[in-house]
Amino acid sequence: MGVQRRKIGDREVYPVGLGCMNICHAYGPPLPEDEAKALLTRSLDLGYDFLDTATIYGVGRSEELIGEALGHRRQEYFLASKCVLDVRDGERVLDGRPEAIKAACEASLKRLKTDVIDLYYLHRPDPNVPIEDSVGALADLVSEGKIRFAGLSEMGAEDLRRGAAVHPIAAMQSEYSLWVRNPEIAVMQACEELGTALVAFSPVGRGFLADPPADPANFHETDMRVRAFPRFRPEYYSGNLPLLAEAKAMAEEAGCSVAQLAIAWTLAKGPNVLPIPGTTNLKHLEENHRAAEVTLTPEQVARLDAHFAPERAVGPRYNRIGQATVTTEMYDFEKANG
């Protein structure tokens, strides 16, 4: 029967996409240009057909690499990018004004060497601009044929509903994994009601849900994980390691790697969920793609749900600065600890 494809808007894609952030920044030095292009090319050859990037990834470099490496194969992949979150004069900024969104889209189209972006997200909510105004700009871009679908990222159910009242929202991108369950509070239900795909970023827990797990002791000095994601800090990290024992046992039972188990779990959470793991490693690229072939039983999913109950994760998901930029719902125990 093969792997069942999943829908974003009226398009169907392979259920595991490729996140294109860490080929350029975030988890250490960027890949050398030739290696990054080889990885992107290999992704299409393996069967990936949903690539997800953003203006801020490498300050435009991720988009440029996709355009340079894959522009001549544009018809082979569904392309997503993001606006609002950017870097100006070395500082991160949020700019959700309609004119800024439209200017950002024009710049992304040039870097991506394409005349249309399939899915264009608001990367973060701009607290100074009503969500209706920002989504209105996306609606204009759809009408102009510059983007096909509108999306939101790291926003809560209220923002999703307000945005969808202006224009259909084809996808909500949220961090979602065994280690981060926040979309289950309200976003997943809103997505189901509105026919919105849930694009799950960091489904492998930023490397934590791998075997061996990402070890902060080995991180490069430019790796943002310890700085931005407290669960990787020494005072929290060791407390999370016991969670992996059950994941390893379950992976052996399912005949897959821990990373594949984590990705397969997100796929099991609903037919509208599409995980987009990122990697700089060709072996992991292939391993992540094959996770779509792993089928977990309802009993296995339930066991993982219970073992990775949200309150068992040690430490906040984001630091205070990061948390302040998102409207994704928080659990009561997170608010109490915050």
Percent of the chain residues past pLDDT 70, beyond the cut: 99
Looking at the domain assignment, is residue 88 inside a domain?
A: yes
The whole model's pTM is what?
0.97
In this structure, what token pair is assigned to residue 196? 């919105």
Cα–Cα distance, 177 to 267 (Å, whole number): 10
Looking at the domain assignment, is residue 328 inside a domain?
A: yes
DSSP codes joined into one string, 214-271: P-GGG--TT--HHHH-GGGSHHHHHHHTTHHHHHHHHHHHHTS-HHHHHHHHHHHT-T
Q: Look-up: residue for tokens 């059950």?
A: 246
Task: Respond yes or no on whether the N-terminal peptide bond of residue 216 is cis (omega within 30° of 0).
Answer: no
Looking at the domain assignment, is residue 183 inside a domain?
A: yes
How do strand 91-94 and strand 85-88 relate by DSSP bridges? antiparallel
Label residue 111 by pLDDT band (50, 70, 90).
Answer: very high
Label residue 314 by pLDDT band (50, 70, 90).
Answer: very high
Cα–Cα distance, 313 to 332 (Å, whole number): 14
pLDDT in tens, 50-103: 999 999 999 999 999 999 999 999 999 999 999 999 988 888 899 999 999 999
Looking at the domain assignment, is residue 288 inside a domain?
A: yes
Say if residue 248's pLDDT is above 90: yes
Residues 256 and 265: beta-carbon distance below 8 Å: no
In sequence order, what are the beta bridge partners of 119?
80, 149
Looking at the domain assignment, is residue 237 inside a domain?
A: yes
- CATH value at residue 53: 3.20.20.100
Say if residue 1's pLDDT is above 70: no
Into how many domains does the chain fold? 1
In which domain, by residue range, is 102 found? 13-337
Cα–Cα distance, 254 to 294 (Å, whole number): 8
Label residue 338 by pLDDT band (50, 70, 90).
Answer: low
Say if residue 288's pLDDT is above 80: yes
Catalytic residues: 57
Q: What is the pLDDT of residue 281?
A: 95
Looking at the domain assignment, is residue 70 inside a domain?
A: yes
Whose CA is closest to 122, among 71, 156, 76, 88? 156
pLDDT in tens, 152-171: 999 999 999 999 999 999 99
Residues 229 and 220: beta-carbon distance below 8 Å: no
Comparing 5-19, 84-98, 193-207, 257-271, the range with the smallest average pLDDT is 84-98
Looking at the domain assignment, is residue 57 inside a domain?
A: yes
Cα–Cα distance, 291 to 296 (Å, whole number): 11
Label residue 252 by pLDDT band (50, 70, 90).
Answer: very high
Looking at the domain assignment, is residue 68 inside a domain?
A: yes
